[in-house]
Amino acid sequence: MKTGLVIEDDENNMVLITRLLEKSGYRTLQATTGLQGLEAALRQKPDFIILDIQLPDIDGTEVLRRIRSSEIGDTIPIIAMTSFAMSGDRERLLKAGCNEYIEKPIDPQRVISQIRSVIGDIS
Amino acid sequence: MTKDCGSIRRHTGEDMMGPSNSIKLRKTSVAVTVIISIMAVTAILICGLWVLLNRIIHDRWWGQLHKEHVILADQLSESLVLPIWNFDNSEIGKILEGGMKNENIFGIVVNTTGKQARMYGRMRDTQWDIINAGQEFPTKGLLVEERDIRFANELIGKVRVVASSKFIEGFLHQNNVFMFSVLVSFELILALSLFLLLWRIVLKPLQGIEAYAIEVSSGNAGSTNIQAFQFQGELESLRSSIEKMFIQLGTRYKELQEEVKRRTESEERFLTIFNSVNDAILIHDLDTGSILDVNQKMCEMYGYTREEVRSIDVGTLSSGEAPYTQQEALEWIGKAAKGNPQLVEWRCKDKSGRLFWVEINMRRANIGGIDRLLVVVRDITDRKTSESALQESEERFRGLIEKAPVAISISRGGRTIYVNHKYLALYGFEVADERVGQPVFDEWAPESRNDILERSQKRARGEIVPSTYEGTGQRKDGSHFPVHVVVETVELPDGPALMAFLSDVTERKQAEKALRESEKRFRHLFEGAVDALFVYDQQGRIVGVNEGVCSSLGYTREELLQLSVPDVEVGLHPADLAPIRDRVLSGQSVIVEGVHRRRDGSTFPVEVHVALFTATEGPLFFAAARDITERKRAEEELTQYRAHLEELVEVRTAELSEANKKLKELDLLKSMFIASMSHELRTPLNSIIGFTGMTLQGMSGELNDEQKDNLTRAYLSAKHLLSLITDVIDISKIEAGRIEAYPEGFVLREMVNDAIATIEPQLKDKGLTIEVDVPPETNLTTDRKRLLQCLINFLGNAVKFTESGGVTIASWKADGQVFLSVSDTGIGIAQKDMHRMFEPFERLETHLRVKTGGTGLGLYLTKKLAIDVLRGDVSVTSLEGQGSTFTIRVPEDIRQAQKASIERSGGDIV
């Protein structure tokens, strides 16, 4: 069973995402700030990370950058999540190093299929 | 002679031996002949003498022998009488013995007669004394002297004295042997001395002459000095005549050698030329025209071997097409054979049947003493083809020069050889012949002819002459006009020539004159102006002033030209001068007030008009300064009156600007509020949508129909609210200028497909068709997401207001712009409502109103996006009840549109 780390400051969204993941057969770890998320990522070494970009302490892109430059950073799949929905966000984030990009409001089934394809989990 | 010399030249070694051997043989035989002849003659003479002498001796000796013999026989016949008579044998023996003492007596025989006949004999060599009677005594060949021995007249016996010439013969024999040896010795000595004599006076000189001759014959005359030999008598004259002859021969030989060498070289050279010349050469018989000989090139050209050529006729070498037939060829040959050289172009055929053009030169020639026809054939196939090209090219260039819009003349040696049409027009000639051949001088007026002469003299000396010259030209009718000429040396096929391009500069001269007059006028104006007029450059240096400046400032003109603007203008800070300068440079005329300082330090206020003045050396500034001391004073009075009024205005203005400031702050606040609300509003909505979506998708267990319907309504309302918020935020962002385009390149067709995918469910629900007329190759660079948003808005509208029929998406390009239109077969729009279509919150009164959703902001936002973000525009056409077409236009590449816009706005700022 693979473990996904969800870094999200909004409680409702956190519940939504974790519930969605658990129903789809993943274990979840939770972090509500960027630094917490960074620490959890480095210590717990999850199989993948779902990362909100708007975080209260450090920006999601910064978290992304730090994870990528850390020891686990090379291969871990990271899925960015944002409600900015601005032109250019997608390119900017993919360039910054995330593997997939999800726009809020999410479509639950679509999100699951996106995650599966990113982490290479066919089942 | 020639041949001999040739062979000598060629076989020097052999011939060095040949003649010398033959001379030696001849010499030997002459000497031997002479010596043997002399020896034979002397031998015969001596032998003859000897025989004569021998005969004399022999005769004398014989005479003496005979005398002695007779005497002895007489003596014996007397002395033997008694002994015989007495039979005294011993006495007889003694007497006989005594008789034998004579050497010449061979024997003595005494025969006695009577009863006691006896024979007594004494023979030399044969020792017998008494020989029996009857015994024959060999007397053959001997001299016999017989005597009767008588005693008293009675014969008592006979005595025979036999004398022999043996002794004489022996003596003579001995004498002969001796004489022979003497003769041989004599002959040997004679031969030797003759040889020596001959050697010395004949052979040796002859050897010298011979060696000399050999040297002469081998061409080395000179190393042997023939005069060193001693000659005598006739030989001396022989020597001198031989020497003369040899000298003559040597000279002649040398000449001949040179002649032979020259002829051999000439012959070789001829053969080399004959075979290596690039033309084919044929030698024909004068009468029959048959080919006698050809050179190597002919074989190459026609592909026949030399042997083959001799068996073919001229017809075989011709193409055969009239007029290049054998008959025609023979006619030409006939003409040439009569002594008229012929030059014809001929179409030939080689062995392989290839046809080619040649030029044939035929002439009669004496070859080896016989008159022949010499035919030289040159392949001119290349020339033929290039001839036409050359002609064409020449015509083209002639045409170019002829039609050139400038007068052109070409001259050589001071005489015109060609002029073009324009030239004729310029100089008033009708035809070129009027000018061609005339001196170049004639085209110049007398005042310019000295210059022209000087130029041509310089050119002749090889000095460099400027290629351009201006002078006065003279037309045919004698009128003068200013001419500008450019002369270039050109290489024409027949040698270098001068090509002159001439132009009438009357207009330019007039313009120059007008300019000078105008300048003079302006100078008057400048100087006579009341205002002080300055001209200064970009560094502020004064480069020109009028008299007004000098009088108002108290400087001399020279002093002013050493000063800069800051030396005079003291009212403005030097830093303030820069913006003024920039404004003037941008083309504006600027009026500033300043303070000028006089030479004595006093100052006065001025109003200065500064304008740009473009001179040939670059932009200059033109400043007109006017003393405004009087005006200032008047102004000051006015100011005092106005001051009170201004105070009031100031208060009001301050109040207004305060209000304005507040308004601006409020506006900013609104934008900030909206921007921050976007996140805050959307976060809970996202949750609502997320959770209801998850539940609706059955992730939290099965729902019954009512639950599903309830949740669907909540879900759709939330989505509607979200899109409303999003639209409002987008609009406010656009209005606040906070949305920028993110350009990316993409294929339009793919984007259209994405848009159709989002609208597909609604299309299916209503059963509408969709038609796409977008060229698959259309690419564009713009903000894909925003363009997609616009297209989805159009499509949403189209689907919303169409109940049956379909939607068509079309695209086309024009003038760097891409047009994208969405047409529907819906309700259409009334003419009166058209202008309100793109206003916010305009929901048209329709019978469908209840059924249609939407924010009322879609088209407004679309227009805002199209204009402010995508830098394009939107438009609509419609027929009520038949359908509408919404079109968006965007630049093909937004980056270029952005750039152009930045430049434009940048210009405005400046």
Entry field: residues in chain A? 123
pLDDT for residue B14 is more than 50: no
A34-48, B64-78, B694-708, B712-726: which range is least confident on average? Answer: B64-78
- Residues of chain A positioned with their CB less than 8 A from the CB of B687: 10, 12-13, 16
| Whether the predicted pLDDT of B8 surpasses 70 | no
Asked whether B164 and B69 are in contact (CB, 8 A), the reply is: no
pLDDT at B29 over 70: no
- Arithmetic mean of pLDDT, B633-658: 85
Q: pLDDT tier at A4 (50, 70, 90 boundaries)? A: very high
Residues 6 or more apart from B429 whose CB is under 8 A from it? B419, B423, B435, B476
How many Å apart are CA B189 and CA B908, to the nearest integer? 150
Rounded mean pLDDT of B894-907? 73
From the list B693, B700, B722, the residue facing A107 with the nearest CB is B693
d(CA B723, CA B796): 13
Q: Do B694 and A16 touch (CB under 8 A)?
A: yes
Tell me the chain B residues in contact with residue A54 when contact means C-beta distances shorter than 8 Å. Answer: 679
What's the pLDDT at B226?
62
Q: What are phi and psi of B12, to 5 degrees?
A: -55, -50
Binned at pLDDT 50, 70 and 90, residue B23 comes out as very low
* pLDDT for B908: 42
Name chain A contacts of B783, Cβ cutoff 8 Å. 87
Q: Could you tell me the two tokens for B370?
A: 């016989």
What's the gap between Cα B205 and its chain centre?
70
- In the chain, the amino acid numbered B9 is R
Residues 6+ away with beta carbon under 8 Å from B415: B437, B438, B439, B440
- How does residue B15 score in pLDDT terms, banded at 50, 70 and 90? very low
Over residues B287-313, mean pLDDT:
84
Picking from B686, B718, B719, the nearest residue to A83 by CB comes out as B686
Residue B855, classed as helix, strand or coil, is coil
**DSSP 8-state symbol, A120:** T
Beta strands in B616-731 (DSSP E): 618-627
Average pLDDT, whole number, for chain B? 81
Preceding omega of B446 cis (within 30 degrees of 0): no
Tens of pLDDT, residues B703-741: 899 999 999 989 988 888 888 888 888 887 787 777 788
3 state SS of B418: strand
Cα nearest neighbour of A90 on chain B: B785
- Please report, as a single letter, which amino acid is at residue B182: V
pLDDT tens readout for residues B523-579: 888 877 778 888 888 888 888 888 888 888 888 888 888 888 888 888 777 777 778
CB-nearest partner of B690 from A54, A85, A108: A108
Q: Which positions in chain B touch A19 (Cβ < 8 Å)?
A: 694
Candidate ranges A44-48, B66-70, B395-399, B467-471; pick with highest mean pLDDT:
A44-48
Residue B810 identity: A
* Mean pLDDT for the stretch of residues B740-769: 90
Nearest to B739 by CA among B797, B793, B790, B813: B790
The confidence score (pLDDT) of residue B19 equals: 43
Q: What percent of chain B has pLDDT over 70?
A: 90
Q: What is the DSSP letter of B433?
A: G
B304 and B351 Cβ atoms separated by less than 8 Å: yes
Q: Using CB atoms, which residue from B687, B785, B786 is nearest to A13? A: B687
User: At A7, is the pLDDT very low, low, confident or very high (cuts 50, 70, 90)?
Assistant: very high
- Mean pLDDT, residues B138-164: 78
Q: Taking CB atoms and an 8 Å limit, are B686 and A20 in contact across chains? A: no
Q: In this predicted model, what pLDDT tens digit does every residue of A53-83 receive, in sequence order?
A: 888 888 888 899 889 888 877 789 999 988 7
Query: Which residue bears the tokens 């099965």?
Result: B702
Of B699, B783, B784, the CB nearest to A108: B699
> Is pLDDT at B21 greater than 50 in this prediction?
no
d(CA B733, CA B679): 13
pLDDT surpassing 90 at residue B889: yes
DSSP lists the bridge partners of residue B551 as: none
For residues A98 and A81, what is the distance between their CA atoms, to the nearest angstrom? 10
For strand B618-627 and strand B532-536, is the pairing parallel, antiparallel, or unpaired? Answer: antiparallel
> Is the pLDDT assigned to residue B772 strictly greater than 90?
yes
Min Cα separation B812/chain A (Å): 25
CB contact under 8 A, B694 and A88: no
Name, of B602-616, B642-656, B684-698, B719-733, the range with top average pLDDT.
B684-698
For residue B852, the 8-state DSSP code is -
- pLDDT tens digits, residue range B103-139? 777 778 887 777 667 777 777 765 545 555 455 666 6
CB contact set of B366 (below 8 Å; sequence gap of 6+): B372
Report for B212-216, B741-745, B774-778, B835-839: range of highest mean pLDDT: B774-778
CA dihedral B753, A90, A123, A105 (to 10 degrees): -80
Q: Is the pLDDT of residue B17 over 50?
A: no
> pLDDT band at residue B800, thresholds of 50, 70 and 90?
confident
The mean pLDDT of B295-309, rounded to a whole number, is 85
Q: A16 vs chain B: nearest CA distance in angstroms? A: 6
pLDDT at B6: 38
pLDDT over threshold 60, residue B76: yes
Least confident of A73-82, A85-94, B352-361, B730-739: A85-94
Interface predicted TM-score (ipTM) of this complex, two decimals? 0.85
Rounded to an integer, the average pLDDT of B867-875 is 91
| CB-CB contact of B209 with B239 (8 Å) | yes
CA angle B576, B582, B584 (to 5 degrees): 105
User: Among A6, A27, A21, which residue's Cα sits nearest to residue A113?
Assistant: A21
Confidence of residue B823 (pLDDT cuts 50, 70, 90): very high
Average pLDDT in the A13-24 region?
Answer: 91
Which residues in A lie closer than 8 A to residue B700 (C-beta atoms)? 23
CA distance B231 to B201: 7
H or E, element range at B130: strand B130-131
Q: Between B686, B691, B699, which is nearest A23 by CB? A: B699
- pLDDT value of position B7: 38
> Strand, coil or helix: what is A49?
strand
Residue B496 exposed, middle or buried by CB count within 10 Å (0-12, 13-18, 19+): exposed
Name the burial class of residue A121, with classes exposed (0-12), middle (13-18) and buried (19+) by CB atoms within 10 angstroms of its CB. middle
pLDDT at residue B22, as a whole number: 43
Each residue's pLDDT tens digit, B457-512: 888 888 888 888 888 888 888 888 888 888 888 888 778 888 888 888 888 888 88
Q: What is residue B11's predicted lDDT score, i.e. its pLDDT?
A: 41
Q: Determine contact, residues A17/A31, Cβ cutoff 8 Å.
A: no
Q: Decide which of B863 and B391 is more confident.
A: B863
pLDDT score of B782: 92
Q: Which residue has the tokens 């000098």?
A: B550
pLDDT for the residue B854: 63
Where is average pLDDT lowest: B83-92, B431-440, B560-569?
B83-92
Which three-class secondary structure state does DSSP give residue B595? strand
Mean pLDDT of B32-55: 85
Q: Which of B214-223, B396-405, B671-680 has the lowest mean pLDDT?
A: B214-223
What are the b/e assignments for A43-78, b being 16+ CB within 10 Å? eeebebbbbbbbbeeeebbbbbebbeeeeebeebbb
Check whether B903 has a pLDDT greater than 80.
no
Contact B683 A105 (CB under 8 A): no
B582 has pLDDT over 70: yes
> CB-based contacts of B261: which residues, under 8 Å, 6+ apart?
none
Min CA distance, B741 vs chain A (Å)?
7
Half-sphere exposure in the Cβ direction for B641 (13 Å, CA)? 4
Question: Do residues A97 and A77 make contact, with C-beta atoms less than 8 angstroms apart?
Answer: no
Q: Which residues from chain B sit within 8 angstroms of residue A26, using beta carbons?
A: none
